[in-house]
Structures are given as structure tokens and as C-alpha cells.
Structure 1
Amino acid sequence: MSKISAVELTQKLIRRQSYSGKEKGVSEELTKFFEENGFDDVHVDKYGNTIGHIKGNRPGPKVVFDGHMDTVPVTDESEWKYPPFEAEIHDGKIYGRGSSDMKGALASMAVAASNFKEKTKGDFAGEIFIAGVVHEECFEGVAAREVSAYTNPDYAIIGEASNCNVKIGQRGRAEIKVEVLGKPAHSANPEKGINAVYKMCKVIEAIKTLRPTHHDRLGDGILELVDIKSSPYPGASVVPEKCIATYDRRLLVNETKESVLAPINELLEKLMKEDSELKVRAYYTEAEEKCFTGETIGGERFFPGWIFDEDEAWVKKVVAKLKDKGQNPEITQYNFCTNGSHYAGEAKIKTLGIGPSRENLAHTVNEYIEVSELEKVVDSYEAVMEALLL
């Protein structure tokens, strides 16, 4: 057995650049680790999700540890203090793209599972799956659907950064398009057309009057304008015939595709009754990307929110085991969207998050992860395995 530390594996993963759709190198590194460190089998699915499996000698619950392999791009390497794909260690920190979001967590999950099998000699009830997931930065939860279909888990552990605190929920995310159709005309004779941008301005002002939904723990269901584009663009000497505004909608628990669009559609219907020239509709953005396997992944950008009660027996059991290991985790929720949108939000699988590092280091120039956080979170993941499988 070729034993390497979480630090060493994190460095190996960082050195394999893995923008969304280009995760093959990380998949290869994970596969090599799984094959050399006591995993029973490895499965790479149609999207490229790479899943290592350890089976206990007795039947019991299945636990998926989820960490995405993809990262956001580096826009300008010259801005970095240290090279973003060299994984250099300085002052107790590993620098590099994906170090914090979230190759450090993924490496720690794999090492913890190997350690757990070695310490227990496989004498536990249940199964462990370490899932390196693709395309999370594009579609939170979409590739994870394939993971849960393959593993059928009872529990999912998300490794997004939490300072090793326990996260029991998150707001979800949707991307909504509001599209206005006008009538083209030469801009020298604008009265012969219908300017879609002018119409959109009134629509935007009306949407601002909508009251957000609210959850006592997760906060408001935010609806924020993030982009607006007219067509044709650039619009030289032409009255724009189309205008599309993009809204970021932060989702709360139990919100559905229908319930989220309902108040917007009701408002748009009212506006069209008041203005016979207005033609407007709202819909969810659809997108697709190519996976490194050649498969296409995509769908509507609607990723549900979720939350569990901190008094649930399984949550308390995990927290108690973490405390046994000398940790004192705060129980809270993520401020951003994760693959938990599928596991908990869609599939209703018992889900919590524990990850090394701080949330605000994700996607930053000079991204890093502290070596001490990696060492701590390996203990955290072993504690989860002990709580749920022993």
C-alpha cells in the first residue's frame, strides 16, 4: 500500500489543472490513490465523476463524501504571489487554484477513508464512497445526480469550506431570464418600432416591488438583477427588438420551480394587461457543457435549498464524535450553493457539510489552504465515519 498524506495528495490534485470539463487529470490522480490505498473498487461514470468505494464486512448505511474536482479559471497568473498550479507550501499554507475550493477537502476525504479502513480492518457496518464530482462550478448538483443514482446513499457529506464547522443547510440558487420582445425599426424613425429596452426598464422597476420570501434560519429569498442585454448588440442605428435581463434568485427550502416563477409571472401578466405593446416572459436559464468524457451535461439552472434540524439524532451523533476528537464545531449553514442542492434539496438524503479552510478564500487570487486545516479535517471525516458506521 502506497500511503501518502492529505497534504501530498492535495498538492498532486492542485498540480493537475481542472477547469470545468477538464477534470481528467484529477480523476486520474484520484483513481491512482484509490487503487493503491485499500479501496475495493473505482467507478468513473459517463460524466467523469470518479468514485472510490470501501465496503464494510457487515451491512449498514451508505455514506457518500462529495468533493468537486473542477475549479474556476485563473484569469492572470502574473497576479499570483506563487504559481497557481505548483502547490508550493509557504508559512504552513499550500497555495494554488482549487486548494481551498476544494481539492484539499477531496484529498482529505480520500485519506480519511483509507485510514478508517486500515484502523478498523474493514470491520464496520456499511459502505463509504468518496466522490470526485465534475462540473460543480457550472451546475451545482447536476453531476451529483449520477453519483447518488450509482451509490444510493443514506448520508451525504459535502466537503465545501466550513472551517471544520458543521453545516446543516444552505440557500439554493436559480437563474431566471426575463425576456421582452419589441419591434425593430431604424433609429432615425423610432416611432415605427417598439424599443424593448424601454419596456424592460418598466419591467425591472416593477420586479423590484416584489417582496422576497423568508426563512427564519436561511434569511431572504433574494431576487437580484445581475445582467441585461439588448438585441441586436451592438445596436447601430436600430431600435432593439429584444431585451433579456438575468436574475439571480437565492432559494429557500420547499421552494419549487413553479412557486418561484409564480409571483413573477403574475406581475408580468398584470403589466401586459396595462400595456398592450408589452410582450414579456420569464423562464429558467438552460445551459450545457461538454465533459472530459465527451458526454454533455446540462439542464435548467435551478438548484434547491435545504436545511436539517440540529437536534436530529444523526446530526447530534456526528457532533458528539467530533467533540470526542477534541473539536468544538459550530452548527450553522452555508452562505452559498453546493452539491447538497441535489442530495438534500432534490433527493432528500440526510446531508451535512464539513470542510477545511474559510469560505472567503474560494475563487480568489493567491488561494491557499492551511496544512493544519487539512490535518484537522482528516480527523473530522474519520469522526463522521465512526459516528455513522461503527
Structure 2
Amino acid sequence: MLSKERKATVVELCQKLIRQRSYSGEEQGVVQVLQENMKAMGFDEVTVDRYGNIIGCIKGKRPGKKLLFDGHIDTVPVTNAAEWQHPPFEAEIHDGKIYGRGTSDMKGAVAAMTCAAANFANDTNKDFAGEIYVAGVVHEECFEGVAAREISKLVQPDYVVIGEASQLNLKIGQRGRAEIVIETFGIPCHSANPKKGVNAVYKMAKVIEAIHTLVPPHHPVLGDGILELTDIKSSPYPGASVVPEYCRATYDRRLLVGETKESVLAPIQQLLGQLMAQDPELKVTVSYAVGVEKCHTGNEIEGKRFFPGWLYEENSDFVQSVFSQLKEMGYNPSITQYNFCTNGSHYAGEAGIKTFGLGPSKENLAHTVDEHIEIDQLTKVTDCYYGVMQALLK
């Protein structure tokens, strides 16, 4: 377990990170704090890439595997600070908990990763096999895994630890997600003479009804590949006596392992083709939403909203190595899956890198009013990350 001094260090770093408001695209304050602390803690290299991700590296004296700890440093916004019992950017401590936006999701984990890496390097005098990387990742709340592509290109890790909340349990998979856009195109006219046009919303209504009959696939471990309507917009809006010429509906599709961009759209495309054959007036397309965001570096980050699912076997060597080490240290983790999407969509889902999740705090505290992290969880996960290094950098 951590010494009193090391517990104080990780708590202090977590508080510093919380006090830097870091909505997506505004992570520069957190990057600066991490940069200063990583350098002071003896990291060998600290770099910031074009998207604004910060990557700290500690090199062992002997060649070996590259171990990457991934934690995003952006947060969702606070909609109304007055609703909070404790200020969302003050990192106040009450009843053994640090309060603030990003405590659980996921600056606590980032602080723990940073401190654990420094602790391990100090205790071993860097006489270990391999390299340790700690990445503070931007724009995860906008699109999971897009900024992470830049990190894996630079680091080329052998193992990745996702620090999303897991209550110190090991997570070996997750469903992915895709945002699917359906568009119908009509003909505008005055709403006093609707027969002179084609109402794109009426056409969309029929399309939505038909899509509702599609049965998404099922996975025995990850569950259903849900396909759910999340929003619908028409144009022009407001209509002001105009029959809408355009309508756009967005669907959230939860992705299972092995699904591709092509395989997910195929049943929808087939259905739309049948509908258009039946109705000559229907013009409808399907595609993936594309996100474009401005980074704190001034560069733009862009990505198609398709984030694959992934799953490793419980008996995988790397999973069992970490599991055994944590058990030896007195922890009792269960091995399960995340219920939400993470940067693992890139590392495991796209790049095929051995990946698992291990983080402090509860999953359901993310994005909530009075978000907090228990100091006990924060210090224990710092110890667990140390154990991961012992297990994987032999």
C-alpha cells in the first residue's frame, strides 16, 4: 500500500487537475499541470502532440515491452454550478471524497497513473525491462479513440490500460458505438398547397417505422447491438408555411465485436433500397456522422463516428498476469466489461493492441451533479497501477 507521503501526493495532483476546467478543446490548463508534474517527478520525456494530447515516458534500463496508461483529460460541461453541493472546480474534500467535475471521469485515474509511474521508477531506480507511458488524452468526450490514434502511432504500445472507472475491477471489453445518419430529401412548397411538394418529414416517418422492424445482432457476453433513434431535425426550421424539403434522423448503434462500417450499414441500405423501389418519390440516404472539433492547440480534429467494440478472453496471458499480481497484493478484482464506450475502441477495436480497463470510482458518477471520487479508491488504484507495471514489465 502507499505511504502517507505518496497518498498526499496523488490527492494533491488530482486536486490540481480538477481546478483546471477542461471542457473538450480547452484542456491546456491540465496539460500544463501534468507537464510540470511529470518533469518534476523524473519522467524522461514529456511531449504534446498536434491535437494537444500529453504523453509522458519513463524508460527502463533494459529493453522490454511498452506499457501505455490512457486517461482522457477533457470533461463534459457543468450545466448549472448552483445545483452542486460543492463547487465543481474547487476540488474540495468532504467525508473522504474529492468533489468536482472530472474527479471520476477521469482526472483521478490520470493523477494515479502519473504518480504510480513515478513511484515505480523511483523504487526500481529505473532498472526494469521496457517503457512506461502515461497519456492525458483530449476530446474523448466528443469521439472516443480519435485522438488516441495519434498516441498509438507515436508510442506503438504492447499493452494499454484504460483508466475509466471500474471500482478497481478489470474490464476486458466493451460494446462500441456508431452514430448513423438517415437523410430524406423532399420538394419544398407553400404549406397552403402541400400537394405541389414532397414533405421530407412524412417520408422520414415511413423510414423510421421501417427501421424499427430491423433486429440488431446479439453477443453472448456484450449483449445487444442496440439501434435507437436519438434525434430528428427538419429544414427549413422554423417552417413558416413551408413544407420541409429535408429531414435528418440520427441513430445510436451499439457495436459488437467483429462488426465493420460496411456490415453495420448493409441491412439498413438494403431496407432503404426496398422502400425506394416501392415509392418513386422517396429519396433517402444513410451514412455515419462526422465530427469536427477545434483542439486547444488550434488544430482541428476530425473523425467518423464509428468506434468499434472489443473483447479479450478472461484467460488471456496478460489479463491473468495482472489479475494474479493484484490478488497477490490483497485486491480481489472481478473480470467484467465496460457498459460504455472508451478509448479502447481504438487501441483494441481498431489497432488490435492488448488492452484492459482498470480505474477508480463508480461508473455511474460520470457526468453527474456532485461528481466525486473517494480518496480510498484514488490511493488504492495508484497501488494497483504499480502492480500492473510489476506484472507486465518483467
Does the 8 Å CA contact 1:139/1:298 hold for their aligned counterparts?
A: no
Cα distance per residue 1:212-263 (max 9 Å; x no partner): 1111100011100000001111111010001100000110011110000000
1:85 pairs with one of 83, 89, 94: 89
Cα distance per residue 1:9-45 (max 9 Å; x no partner): 0000000000000000000000011100011110110
Which blocks of at least 5 consecutive residues in structure 2 are unaligned?
none
Q: What is the CA–CA distance in structure 1 between the aligned matches of 2:269 and 2:177, rounded to whole Å?
A: 19
Show the counterpart of 2:306.
Answer: 302
Question: Is 1:175 aligned to 2:179, yes or no?
Answer: yes
Note the C-alpha offset of 1:375: 0.8
Show the counterpart of 1:166.
Answer: 170
Show the counterpart of 2:322.
Answer: 318
SS in structure 2 of the partner of residue 268 of structure 1: helix
Show the counterpart of 2:102.
Answer: 98
Amino acid at match of 2:141: E
Note the C-alpha offset of 1:264: 0.4
Show the counterpart of 2:220.
Answer: 216
Note the C-alpha offset of 1:121: 1.0
Question: Is 1:15 aligned to 2:19, yes or no?
Answer: yes
Amino acid at match of 1:44: V
Question: Is 1:29 aligned to 2:68, yes or no?
Answer: no
Which blocks of at least 5 consecutive residues in structure 1 are unaligned?
none
Question: Is 1:126 aligned to 2:130, yes or no?
Answer: yes
Cα distance per residue 1:342-386 (max 9 Å; x no partner): 000000000000000000000000000000000110111011100
Q: What is the CA–CA distance in structure 1 between the aligned matches of 2:187 and 2:22, rounded to whole Å?
A: 44
Show the counterpart of 2:139.
Answer: 135
Note the C-alpha offset of 1:312: 0.8
Question: Is 1:283 aligned to 2:284, yes or no?
Answer: no
SS in structure 1 of the partner of residue 349 of structure 2: helix
Show the counterpart of 1:269.
Answer: 273
Cα distance per residue 1:86-130 (max 9 Å; x no partner): 000000000000000000000000000000011111111000000
Note the C-alpha offset of 1:276: 0.7
Amino acid at match of 2:365: L
Q: What is the CA–CA distance in structure 2 between the aligned matches of 1:192 and 1:41, rounded to whole Å?
A: 67
Question: Is 1:204 aligned to 2:208, yes or no?
Answer: yes
Q: What is the CA–CA distance in structure 2 between the aligned matches of 1:287 and 1:47, rounded to whole Å?
A: 14
SS in structure 2 of the partner of residue 97 of structure 1: coil
Note the C-alpha offset of 1:206: 0.4
Amino acid at match of 1:381: Y
Note the C-alpha offset of 1:138: 0.3
SS in structure 1 of the partner of residue 337 of structure 2: strand
Amino acid at match of 1:61: K
SS in structure 2 of the partner of residue 82 of structure 1: coil
Show the counterpart of 1:358.
Answer: 362
Amino acid at match of 1:307: L
Question: Is 1:346 aligned to 2:366, yes or no?
Answer: no
Q: What is the CA–CA distance in structure 2 between the aligned matches of 1:299 and 1:232, rounded to whole Å?
A: 27
Cα distance per residue 1:112-163 (max 9 Å; x no partner): 0000011111111000000000000001000000000110100000000000
SS in structure 2 of the partner of residue 292 of structure 1: coil
Show the counterpart of 1:187.
Answer: 191
Show the counterpart of 2:250.
Answer: 246
Amino acid at match of 1:238: V
Q: What is the CA–CA distance in structure 2 between the aligned matches of 1:134 and 1:12, rounded to whole Å?
A: 17
TM-score normalised per structure 1: 0.99
TM-score normalised per structure 2: 0.98
Q: What is the CA–CA distance in structure 2 between the aligned matches of 1:233 and 1:138, rounded to whole Å?
A: 26
Note the C-alpha offset of 1:332: 0.3
Q: What is the CA–CA distance in structure 1 between the aligned matches of 2:128 and 2:265, rounded to whole Å?
A: 47
Q: What is the CA–CA distance in structure 2 between the aligned matches of 1:236 and 1:135, rounded to whole Å?
A: 38
Amino acid at match of 1:362: A
Q: What is the CA–CA distance in structure 2 between the aligned matches of 1:328 and 1:300, rounded to whole Å?
A: 39
Note the C-alpha offset of 1:322: 0.5
SS in structure 2 of the partner of residue 334 of structure 1: coil
Give identity over the alignment, percent: 67
Cα distance per residue 1:246-292 (max 9 Å; x no partner): 00011001111000000000000000001111000100001210000
Amino acid at match of 2:102: G
Amino acid at match of 1:236: A
Q: What is the CA–CA distance in structure 2 between the aligned matches of 1:21 and 1:314, rounded to whole Å?
A: 34
Q: What is the CA–CA distance in structure 2 between the aligned matches of 1:244 and 1:41, rounded to whole Å?
A: 47
Question: Is 1:370 aligned to 2:374, yes or no?
Answer: yes
Amino acid at match of 1:383: G
SS in structure 2 of the partner of residue 128 of structure 1: strand
Question: Is 1:333 aligned to 2:323, yes or no?
Answer: no
Q: What is the CA–CA distance in structure 1 between the aligned matches of 2:103 and 2:48, rounded to whole Å?
A: 23
Amino acid at match of 1:43: T
Root mean square deviation, CA, Å: 0.9
Q: What is the CA–CA distance in structure 2 between the aligned matches of 1:131 and 1:286, rounded to whole Å?
A: 25
Show the counterpart of 2:297.
Answer: 293
SS in structure 2 of the partner of residue 352 of structure 1: strand
Q: What is the CA–CA distance in structure 2 between the aligned matches of 1:361 and 1:298, rounded to whole Å?
A: 28
SS in structure 1 of the partner of residue 106 of structure 2: helix
